[in-house]
Structures are given as structure tokens and as C-alpha cells.
């Protein structure tokens, strides 16, 4: 393993992105995201993702110097047209107006359109909770997941994320795929020649299967049966047609076998406790703390608790990445 400080890792990410011709706003937004993933122990959303970013750029599937365009759509709505750039850059440009609107209206939404997406949603959620706002986010992906009772892929892994501000403490945050597991988990089983547990997927004939290869050619399943499937459909609708952007099936069709990162939209909603509660806000936010204490007191974990612990370690000690990944990243500098 190679050990790096977070600053060193950030410099490496910045150098790679600059080397491949990304505009400076893209460089900064994408570097911050992948370093945050590595810092929080989420290797699957860490600097490894730079390999996919560069491959997507080389395939001509992301615009390296896109200038996101902000549209003040309605008193409670911001739209950002990413113009084919990465979602993180569009989010950074749209965030200030979303925050302003949430504070003025009490609730506001940010729709990001025509972006290339690979980020975990918690990165954006935490930028909203840092402003003292409650946040929701959802995005489709590529059509890999069958609806409950269905036989063919239609939904993406369609993550849903939520955040609740806790003042100086780390926020209450969750961010999960509505698929039973991440697609990468099934790919990992395939590479290792291991069977997957029942409930993760079906084969191309729509039959339950524990063969990872058959499921990757068939369809993944949602978590939680028909309830998870209903949520996956909701994500398609809210972060697809409602914002005038692609569903997971349309995004996969557009990809046309290039295996690039998904290209579509994202919806974020921000709610301002101060606007809901006025002078009583502090008192009611304290009641949320009572709820969190009750969860922890019975030995259960808050979502993201492990991630925040990893963050503390990484801030103090830096991170360790494998020699092979480090070598692959260095190659991108050549």
C-alpha cells in the first residue's frame, strides 16, 4: 500500500484532471469528490473513479470544458444545464441559488440536467446540511434493475440520499442504492468465481439466479421487494421526466454499448428548519438529537457512522491506496 496525505492525494487528482484537459471548475469539483470518497473509506467512490472519468472523456462521452448554465426557473426551482459536463461542476454552480431559495421559500429544488454522473450523493447532501438545511437527493443510473414481478432491467440502481444538519457535529446522512446491492458487488463475485446470495438478481429468462454472470446479463433486483421497487420507480420519475431528463433505460440506450458513465439528471430538494419553525427551531432540532441518542444508546448505528469515523482517521493519518491503483493513476499523468 502507498500512504498519502489528503493534500497529496488531492494534488494527484488535480494533476490528472488537468493533464486530461478538464476546465479548472471541473478539475476542482471532481478532485474534491473523489478525495472525499477516499477520505471517508468509500474506495468505490474514491480516486479509483478517476480511471472511469478519463476513459469516459477519451470516449468523447463527457465535455471537459462544459460551462454549466444556471436558470432561475421559478421562485422555488433552480435548474442547471450541465451541458454534458460532470454533475459535480454543475452542482457547485447551482448550490448558492438553491440555498438562497430554500431560505426564502422554506423549500426549494435544484434540477441538474444533461450531466455525466458518477458521484455518491452524500458529497452533495453534506454541502447542503453544512448550510443548516435538510436535504434530499436522487438520480437514476443505467437500466440494470428489474421492477418487482418483472423479468427485464428497467430501473437504474437509483440512489436516494437524505441529510439532516446537526450543528457542529457530523450530519445525519444516508445514501443508498434502491437495488439490493451495488452492481460492483456482483462484478466482484464474478471475478472471484463466487455465487451471489438469493435476492440479488434474475437471469435473462427472468428466473432467480445465484450466478453473478447470469445476473449481469439478466437483471439485478431492488432491495425490499415491491417497496424498494416503488422507490426505484419514484427516482426514475422525479429525477427523469419531472426535470425533463433521461430515465435509466433512455440513458443506457444513449450509451449504445460504450460503457461510459451514465448521462442524465439529478434532483435535489432543500428544506429550511428555520423557515418551518421560526424561533422554536433550536428546541425542535434538540428533539431530533434525542432520537439519535436513543438509536445509539441501544447499540444501533447511525447511517454514515463508519464513514465519519474513517474521515477522522484519514484527516489524522492520510489514506492508503494499493500500489497497483497508484501505478494506474501515475500512468494517467504521462
Which residue number, 47 or 181, has a Cβ lying nearer to a second copy?
Answer: 181
Q: Which of 274, 268, 272, 237 is nearest to 78 (CA)?
A: 268
Task: Tell me the C-alpha distance between 5 and 14, whole Å.
Answer: 14
List active site positions.
44-45, 185
- Give the interface with a second copy as residue ranges (CB under 8 A): 73-77, 79, 104-109, 111, 134, 146-152, 154, 162, 164, 172, 174, 176, 206, 223-230, 233-234, 236-238, 240-244, 247, 249-250, 269, 271, 273, 275-277, 280, 284-285, 287-288, 290-291, 294-295, 298-301, 303
Rounded to the nearest whole angstrom, what is the least distance from the CB of residue 286 to a second copy in the complex? Answer: 8
Main-chain phi, psi angles of 184, to 5 degrees: -60, -30
Query: Which residues in 68-146 belong to E strands, given as ranges?
Result: 69-74, 77-81, 107-116, 134-138
Q: 22 or 176: whose CB is closer to a second copy?
A: 176
Q: What minimum distance in Å lies between the beta carbon of 241 and a second copy?
A: 4
Grid coordinates given for 176: 443508498
Residue 307 dihedral angles phi and psi, to the nearest 5°: -65, -45
| C-beta closer to a second copy: residue 25 or 153 | 153
87, 117 contact by CB (below 8 A): yes
Q: Which is nearer to a second copy, 27 or 115 (CB)?
A: 115
Smallest distance from the beta carbon of 177 to a second copy, in angstroms? 9
Instruction: Work out how close the CB of 255 gets to a second copy at its nearest, in angstroms, rounded to a whole number.
Output: 17
Q: What angle do CA 167, 133, 244 make, to 5 degrees?
A: 150
Place of cell 460532470: 86
Cell of 119: 458521484
Choose between 149 and 257: whose C-beta lies nearer to a second copy. 149
DSSP 146: P
User: In the complex, what is the shortest distance from the CB of residue 234 to a second copy, in angstroms, rounded to a whole number?
Assistant: 5
Amino acid at each position: 500500500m502507498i500512504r498519502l496525505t489528503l493534500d497529496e492525494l488531492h494534488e494527484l487528482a488535480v494533476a490528472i484532471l488537468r493533464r486530461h484537459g478538464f476546465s479548472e471548475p471541473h478539475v476542482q469539483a471532481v478532485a474534491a469528490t473523489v478525495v472525499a470518497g477516499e477520505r471517508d473509506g468509500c474506495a468505490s467512490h474514491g480516486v479509483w473513479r478517476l480511471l472511469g472519468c478519463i476513459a469516459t472523456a477519451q470516449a468523447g462521452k463527457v465535455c471537459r470544458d462544459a460551462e454549466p448554465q444556471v436558470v432561475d426557473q421559478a421562485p422555488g426551482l433552480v435548474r442547471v444545464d450541465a451541458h454534458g459536463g460532470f454533475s459535480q461542476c454543475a452542482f457547485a454552480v447551482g448550490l448558492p441559488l438553491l440555498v438562497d431559495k430554500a431560505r426564502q421559500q422554506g423549500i426549494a429544488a435544484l434540477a441538474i440536467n444533461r450531466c455525466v454522473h458518477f458521484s455518491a450523493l452524500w458529497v452533495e447532501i453534506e454541502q447542503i446540511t453544512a448550510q443548516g438545511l435538510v436535504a434530499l437527493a436522487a438520480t437514476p443510473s443505467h437500466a440494470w434493475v428489474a421492477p418487482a414481478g418483472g423479468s427485464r432491467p428497467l430501473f437504474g440502481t437509483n440512489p436516494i440520499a437524505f441529510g439532516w444538519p446537526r450543528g457542529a457535529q457530523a450530519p445525519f446522512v444516508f445514501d443508498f442504492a434502491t437495488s439490493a446491492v451495488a452492481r460492483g458487488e456482483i462484478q466482484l463475485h464474478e471475478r472471484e468465481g463466487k455465487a451471489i446470495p438469493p435476492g440479488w438478481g434474475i437471469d435473462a429468462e427472468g428466473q432467480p439466479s445465484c450466478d453473478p454472470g447470469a445476473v449481469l446479463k439478466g437483471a439485478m433486483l431492488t432491495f425490499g421487494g415491491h417497496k424498494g421497487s416503488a422507490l426505484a420507480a419514484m427516482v426514475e420519475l422525479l429525477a427523469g421526466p419531472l426535470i425533463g431528463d433521461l430515465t435509466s433505460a433512455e440513458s443506457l440506450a444513449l450509451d449504445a454499448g460504450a460503457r461510459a458513465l451514465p448521462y442524465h439528471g439529478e434532483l435535489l430538494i432543500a428544506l429550511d428548519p428555520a423557515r418551518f419553525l421560526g424561533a422554536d427551531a433550536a428546541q425542535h432540532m434538540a428533539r431530533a438529537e434525542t432520537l439519535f441518542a436513543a438509536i445509539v444508546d441501544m447499540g444501533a448505528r447511525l447511517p454514515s457512522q463508519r464513514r465519519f469515523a474513517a474521515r477522522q482517521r484519514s484527516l489524522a493519518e492520510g489514506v492508503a491506496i494499493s500500489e497497483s491503483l497508484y501505478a494506474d493513476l501515475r500512468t494517467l499523468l504521462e
